[in-house]
Amino acid sequence: MRQTEKSPFKHWLELLRYRAEDTPDQTAFGFIGNTLDDEVLMTYAELDVKAQRIAAMLQQMASAGDRVVLLFQPGADYICAMMACFYAGMIAVPVYAPRMNASYERVLQVTQSARASVLISTRQVVSQLQDTAWQALIQSGLKTLASDEAQLPDVSEWREPALRPDSLAVLQYTSGSTGIPKGVMLTHDHLITNSRMIARNMSCDRSSVGVIWLPPYHDMGLIGGILQPMYTGFPVHLMSPATFLQRPMRWLEAMTKFKATHSAGPNFGYEHCVRRARPEIVETLDLSAWQVAGNGAEPIRAETLRAFSETFAPAGFRPAAFMPCYGMAETTLFVTGMAFQEGVHSISVSRTGLTHGRICEPHSPDDSTELVSSGRADSEVKVAIVHPETMQVLSDGQVGEIWISGATVAAGYWERPEETQYAFHNQLKGDDAQWLRSGDLGVMREQHVYVTGRIKDLIILRGQNHYPHDLEKTVNGLHPAIRAQGVAAFSVDHADAEQLVIVVEIDRKYREGQDFLRAIIRDAVSKHHQLQIDHLVLVTAGEVSKTSSGKIQRLQTRKRWQAGELTLLPENDAQVQPGVSDDA
């Protein structure tokens, strides 16, 4: 099948059955355990049988179109259960599974929001759902299925469901980096369309080999890491996100062992590798087969990409493999990307110009910041930069909201008609198409899309716009005491003006010299952004709120700070309290 042609599959079940019949003995997935040699492989034939048996059980418990919450750690059980939802004609609701003794509050919220009929997990997890809130749900009709103890029916009991391209396949709950998670409604056609787009842009074919450590519950890990390899028909080797976070070199060791051609991650993943790299480890790696290194899901840093390229050049990594891209759950996943093997394209622009909503040449080195292109729009979508208030399309070089139109844009938010209307049903003058408001700020130049921030996160001080990730970047690299990805910048209302708050995690090894740390942080923010920090809050490790995929939750951190819920370092106690400047 040529990737430029329309896909021959009407829905994902049709694709799955084709793979099982055409290449039954081919490896679909490998699940890496404690070591690279400890890997469980699954063929398409094995996946087909297991999914049919779970689907037959689901069909006995619920009806076509019902929602099924999938509550698993990454692994074979999770993927088999998800494919079983398609085999049963039901709607999969993937949810991040908390570790032992952790809160299930978000899982409960998603289960209630989706009005799920069945929750499927392991026996150990199901046994933990005993508190009052869960019991109320179970008494009202929620069924639970422990996949590792159920006596699954024979495949002969499975009945093929009546699916159409517009049948709902997945409720993809957003990660909640800027608000309460919402269920994005994805049809089978959305999954197939976006998989086709990814295959075309990233030059995936059956000779490709993938390695993925991304959380499989969110768009990048689910659509890009699991469904895309299945769509194209190449094997992918999966590892737990926790394994990567504990030992990032395991990712690159897996790329070496399997001679992988395709992988992806957010910017912090590549930065994490650079921080942990050692010459004696780098010399054992062979990354020469790596063709596409996708980078998305958070602000892309040019310096990170340069550092990664330089660090791993001795291992054969080529900078041209980098593919910055842009997308979101509301567009299934992929929207824009650099061309295959085109590498990184960046521009230096004026910080001052950005605060006034445009890009222009910097007037001095201190005024300069670098923007990395997220590439050009795929041929199956349209992208426009729009003024978020006047709804007018802006010209090249002007900062506005990124709007997207095309067949890959989701059907809306599950049972949230007002929010669906606001986000998904928009029109531009002279255009009959429906447009999605992304909530992201960006600028376009020569068809390249540059993402500059999130509207809800935007900090407006004295009439000028400041991007929190830009402030966080300035603080992050100042001193080893400041924990990587442990800085959150936001603003709060105070009297007649907004005030700037920066929360900074300090490594437990550093408890002395807080006055010094405060001084260098304030000096750097003043020098690079011409801003005074109204509240500089030093906290213990792990206090900055993050999503399960590692994104900073600025609004949640602000809420916890205002409620006095953050664990401050001792010297903060008398100096920094919500609503009181530590300079007072």
Token pair, residue 264, equals 């992806």
What are 238-290's pLDDT values in tens digits?
Answer: 999 889 988 999 999 999 999 999 999 988 899 889 989 999 999 999 999 99
Angle CA 403–404–405, to nearest 5: 135
pLDDT at 61: 95
**Domain-embedded: residue 149:** yes
**Domain-embedded: residue 355:** no
**Domain-embedded: residue 343:** no
**Domain-embedded: residue 403:** no
Q: Give, in order, the Cα–Cα distances in Å from 318 to each of 194, 268, 305, 330, 528.
A: 27, 19, 11, 32, 32
Token pair, residue 107, equals 């899982």
220: DSSP letter? I
Residue 532 sits in a domain whose CATH number is 3.30.300.30
**Domain-embedded: residue 584:** no
**Domain-embedded: residue 214:** yes
Domain that residue 82 falls in: 12-246
pLDDT at 180: 65
What average pLDDT does range 380-408 have in this prediction?
Answer: 94
Q: Smallest Cα–Cα separation from 213: which of 279, 173, 273, 277?
A: 273
State which of 246, 271, 293 marks the end of a domain. 246
Q: What gap in Å lies between CA 38 and CA 214, rounded to an integer?
A: 19
Give residue 178's pLDDT band: very low, low, confident or very high (50, 70, 90). Answer: very low
Does the pLDDT of residue 501 top 90, yes or no?
A: yes
Residue 37 sits in a domain whose CATH number is 3.40.50.12780
Which residue has better confidence, 282 or 459? 282
List Cβ<8 Å contacts ≥24 apart for 14-23.
14/163, 15/192, 15/230, 15/231, 16/44, 16/47, 16/48, 16/51, 16/83, 16/86, 16/87, 16/230, 17/48, 19/44, 19/48, 19/230, 19/233, 20/44, 20/45, 20/47, 20/48, 23/233
**Domain-embedded: residue 395:** no
State which of 187, 214, 246 marks the end of a domain. 246
- Average pLDDT value over all residues in the chain: 88
pLDDT at 460: 77
Does the pLDDT of residue 512 top 70, yes or no?
A: no
Which residue has better confidence, 301 or 64? 64
Q: Which residues contact 50 (CB under 8 A, 6 or more apart)?
A: 80, 84
Does the pLDDT of residue 409 top 50, yes or no?
A: yes
How many folded domains does the chain comprise? 2
Least confident of 41-45, 66-70, 348-352, 402-406: 348-352
pLDDT at 71: 92
Q: What gap in Å lies between CA 282 and CA 314, rounded to an integer?
A: 7
State which of 218, 246, 274 marks the end of a domain. 246
Amino acid found at 47: L
Residue reference for tokens 């990587």:
484
152: DSSP letter? P
Amino acid found at 53: R
Does the pLDDT of residue 580 top 70, yes or no?
A: no
**Domain-embedded: residue 270:** no
